[in-house]
A = this chain, B = another copy of it.
Amino acid sequence: MSSLTIGKLAKAADVKVPTIRFYEQIGLLPEPDRTDNDRRVYQEATVRRLAFIKHARQLGFPIEAVRSLLDLSDHPEQTCDSANALAEEQLASVEHKIAQLEALRTELKRMVAAGCKGAAADCQVIESLANHDLCQHDHGAPEPRRSH
């Protein structure tokens, strides 16, 4: 039976080391055994658990949902109604976000297409921002934050 350092585990599940410690801290991962020198020692099974978490997070499930899903995974005799509910909720959330972002895209495209050459005084981008009435569609508050 092989055991892993935190670094190996991180590589095996393609997750950063501090993230593992963080998951332990919030109770998504159990506290592992330690060596004489306080280093964490993991079993192979933890790779699967961590991969499960990672996958759920990639799909956008919030941590608390992941916690519930893990709990179901740990107790397969329970009914999976809540897993279905969580998945449906997440799907609805994603579709909602897509709809919002598509409205934003429309608006941004219009701004970019109008463009302007020259002074900001005549800039349609600036003008669009100043004058919400120019918007063709409603665009509510999205989830900000750029990926860059």
Interface residue? A84 (CB, 8 A)? yes
Interface residue? A31 (CB, 8 A)? no
Query: Are the C-beta atoms of A112 and B87 separated by less than 8 Å?
Result: yes
Q: How many residues of A contact B (CB 8 A)?
A: 67
Copy total for this chain: 2
Interface residue? A60 (CB, 8 A)? yes
Within the assembled complex, what's the spacing in Å between the Cα atoms of A54 and B7? 44
**Binary contact track A64-98/B, C-beta < 8 Å → 1, others 0:** 00000100110111111001101111110111111
List, in ascending order, chain B residues with CB within 8 A of A96's CB: 147
Stretch at the interface among A21-29, A34-42, A138-146: A138-146
List, in ascending order, chain B residues with CB within 8 A of A62's CB: 144-146
Jot down 6 A-B pairs with beta carbons below 8 A, ordered by A: A61-B144, A76-B119, A77-B120, A78-B119, A89-B146, A98-B102
